[in-house]
């Protein structure tokens, strides 16, 4: 279904003890969205992701998933910077991707033949099937990142959350990774939330921007951001148009 809402966040407030971190957050995530979540350090990006993943309680407000079926995996999560450089790290690719299936299995938690087929399907989709019997520590950073992406996706989640996914990768591998993520979004309609510190380049990859600074400063597409006089007032014209990667001519905001 085009334009169907996956997720609705209403009047959300989150805090640690008495320290209020996020206030009055309201937004919808639509199927097929690719949202770049940016903001300064300490602006609440990670806290929001933890709220979405159910890892932290909400102080106020609601997060509603439109699809309430219990058997539907809501999120796949790719954490930041878990690159293994120990070549003796014993886990093999298939086993690591299999961990993504364990959480939703009943008892016994055993990877069966059908699961192995699901694992191989996702490895194939991410072009790493040939690595399935390798040890994680024997793989390059970019290959490891794909394995972790496969683990996040093996349960066919409705939304994929990527938390600074490329900070440990070199620029060419990073570009390659973003290309893959872009294909998953454009060709397969995967809905993606990408947390990044790199506000000046996420516009190249994502369709919408969410700028957080303990409240929702902006949420929308880049054209709206670029044309917003509120955002000019907030960031100043120069920074506003740096974030908006679409043109270099500041006077031509199209």
Number of residues engaging ligand ADP in binding (CB under 6 A) = 11
Site membership for ligand ADP, residue 16 (CB under 6 A): yes
Strands 216-221 and 208-212: what pairing?
Answer: antiparallel
Smaller CB separation from ligand ADP, 38 or 160: 38
Question: What is the rounded CA–CA span in Å between residue 134 and residue 123?
Answer: 12
Q: Write down the least CB distance from residue 156 to ligand ADP, Å.
A: 27
Smaller CB separation from ligand ADP, 41 or 229: 41
Among 2, 18, 19, 85, binds ligand ADP (CB under 6 A): 19
Q: Write down the least CB distance from residue 23 to ligand ADP, Å.
A: 12
Smaller CB separation from ligand ADP, 42 or 236: 42
- DSSP assignment of 87-153, as one string? TT---BHHHHHHHHHHTT--SS----HHHHHHHHHHHHHTT-GGGTTSBGGGS-HHHHHHHHHHHHH
With a CB cutoff of 8 Å and minimum separation 6, the contacts of 59 are 13, 14, 15, 20
State the binding string over 27-56 for ligand ADP (x if CB under 6 A, else -). Answer: ------------x-xxxxxxx---------
Among 21, 126, 153, 231, binds ligand ADP (CB under 6 A): 21
User: Of 125, 126, 156, 120, which Cα lies nearest the Cα of 142?
Assistant: 126
- DSSP assignment of 11-36, as one string? EEEEEETTEEEEEEEEEEEETT-EEE
Q: Write down the least CB distance from residue 47 to ligand ADP, Å.
A: 3
Site membership for ligand ADP, residue 72 (CB under 6 A): no
Smaller CB separation from ligand ADP, 136 or 195: 195
**Residues in touch with ligand ADP (CB under 6 A):** 16, 19, 21, 39, 41-47
């Amino acid at each position: 279904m085009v334009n169907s809402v996956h997720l609705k966040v209403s009047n959300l407030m989150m805090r640690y003890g008495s320290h209020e971190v996020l206030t009055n957050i309201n937004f919808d995530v639509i199927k097929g969205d690719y949202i770049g979540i940016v903001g300064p350090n300490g602006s609440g990006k990670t806290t929001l992701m933890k709220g979405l993943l159910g890892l932290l309680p909400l102080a106020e407000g609601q997060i509603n998933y439109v699809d309430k079926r219990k058997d539907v995996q809501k999120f796949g999560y790719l954490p930041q910077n878990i690159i293994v450089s120990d070549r003796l790290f014993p886990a093999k690719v298939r086993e690591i991707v299999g961990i993504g299936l364990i959480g939703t299995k009943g008892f016994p938690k055993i990877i069966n033949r059908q699961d192995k087929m699901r694992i191989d399907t996702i490895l194939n989709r991410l072009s790493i099937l040939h690595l399935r019997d390798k040890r994680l520590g024997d793989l390059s950073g970019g290959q490891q990142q794909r394995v972790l992406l496969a683990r996040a996706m093996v349960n066919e989640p409705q939304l994929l959350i990527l938390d600074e996914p490329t900070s440990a990768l070199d620029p060419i591998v990073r570009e390659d990774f973003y290309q893959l993520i872009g294909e998953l979004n454009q060709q397969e309609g995967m809905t993606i939330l990408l947390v990044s510190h790199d506000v000046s380049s996420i516009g190249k990859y994502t369709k919408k921007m969410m700028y957080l600074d303990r409240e929702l400063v902006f949420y929308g597409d880049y054209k709206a951001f670029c044309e917003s006089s509120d955002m000019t007032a907030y960031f100043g014209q120069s920074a506003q148009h740096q974030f908006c990667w679409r043109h270099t001519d500041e006077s031509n905001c199209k």
